[in-house]
Amino acid sequence: MVTAIKERITLDVTAQEYREFQPEHILTVKNLEIFYGEKRAVNGISMDIGKNNVTALIGPSGCGKSTFLRSINRMNDLIPGARAEGEILYEDLNILSDDINVVALRKEIGMVFQKPNPFPKSIYENITHALKFAGMKKKSVLDEIVEESLQKAALWDEVKDRLHKSALSLSGGQQQRLCIARTIAMKPTVILLDEPSSALDPISNAKVEDLIVDLKKDYSIIIVTHNMQQASRISDKTAFFLSGDLIEYDDTEKIFTNPSVQKTEEYISGRFG
């Protein structure tokens, strides 16, 4: 961040011009390999992740999507025996290097899981918990962040009168949007979503999808999904993984209308399983 500002000052350009100058990629993955013990789950992939884009990761079960996603905010660190090689560049930092402050990284790169996992606390506390932990105590500030994150997660209108009720009293779809709000509250730049709406009914799913598309104004989003229609509806880029390899990565429109690789075509049109 500091380097970015320094660069802007030395370049002597306006903030607007600088934004246009900015690289269009938020993350650059170089020769990423991920192992569980001896077993390699991701086989040396390279890709750029677009800024303010929705990037969808698709592929059959076990192909390494979640493994890849978790490596982006170092969640694999929690798995004994897991290790990664190669680089994931964020700004000019290698996320994988040992001297990264993982807690700070996870604030910048937030994650939402398949099953909504709110804490068994109030809606309000679900959002403020991590903020308080980070030393933010002032009620007026917390109130403001709670409202802003719930607004952004398109949940505010549904819960504004019951902020101090248990989060577990919400529907599955509301709980998932609460988890997204909780991530947003940390003011991340990247949001990782691992099958965020696979457990939701079609209406809740549609709300989460609308939300994701809306959020890309402010965040860069990477989403794992098994729902091909979802990938084609909401993403800008789609990456197809197979057995730990990145088979094809292109504009979503291209992938779903005229993919370049036969295996991609067979997978997206449901012709192998």
Partner 1 sequence: MFMNTRSNFDESLKELKSMQLKMAGEAETAIKNAMLALLNQDIELAHSVINGDNVIDDLEYEIHEKALMLIARQSPVAKDLRRLHVALRVSSEVERLGDIAVNIAKSAVHIGNEKHVKELIDIPHMMEIALEMLTDAITAFYSEDSAMAQKCAEKDDQVDKMFGELVQELLTYIPQNPDFTNQIIQLAFVCRFIERMADHSTNIAENVVYLETGKRYNLNA
Ligand X SMILES: Nc1ncnc2c1ncn2[C@@H]1O[C@H](COP(=O)(O)OP(=O)(O)OP(=O)(O)O)[C@@H](O)[C@H]1O
Rounded CA separation 56/37 (Å):
27
Closest CA to 69 of 42, 51, 93, 91: 42
266 binds, among partner 1, ligand X, Mg ion, none (CB under 5 to 8 A by kind): partner 1
66 binds Mg ion (CB under 5 A): yes
Contacts of 232 (CB under 8 A, 6+ apart): 238, 252, 255, 256
Closest approach of partner 1 to the CB of residue 90, in Å: 32
Write the binding mask 176 to 215 for partner 1: x where contact by CB under 8 A, - elsewhere. ----------------------------------------
Q: Is the alpha carbon torsion for 253, 215, 110, 189 positive or negative?
A: positive
Closest approach of ligand X to the CB of residue 152, in Å: 27
Please identify, using beta-carbon distances, which residue of 65 and 177 lies nearer to ligand X.
65
Rounded CA separation 249/236 (Å):
11
Residues 211-250 that bind partner 1 (CB under 8 A): 228-229, 232
Closest approach of Mg ion to the CB of residue 50, in Å: 22
Specify whether the CB–CB gap between 88 and 140 falls below 8 A: no
Closest approach of Mg ion to the CB of residue 194, in Å: 6
36 binds, among ligand X, Mg ion, partner 1, none (CB under 5 to 8 A by kind): ligand X
Closest approach of partner 1 to the CB of residue 60, in Å: 9
Closest CA to 122 of 199, 182, 184: 182
- The SS3 of residue 82 is strand
User: 135: alpha, beta or left, given left = phi > 0 and alpha = psi -120 to 50?
Assistant: left
* Contact stretch for ligand X (CB under 6 A) within 22-30, 63-71, 102-110, 227-235: 63-71
Q: Rule CB under 6 A: which residues touch ligand X?
A: 36, 41, 59, 61-67, 79
Q: Rule CB under 5 A: which residues touch Mg ion?
A: 66
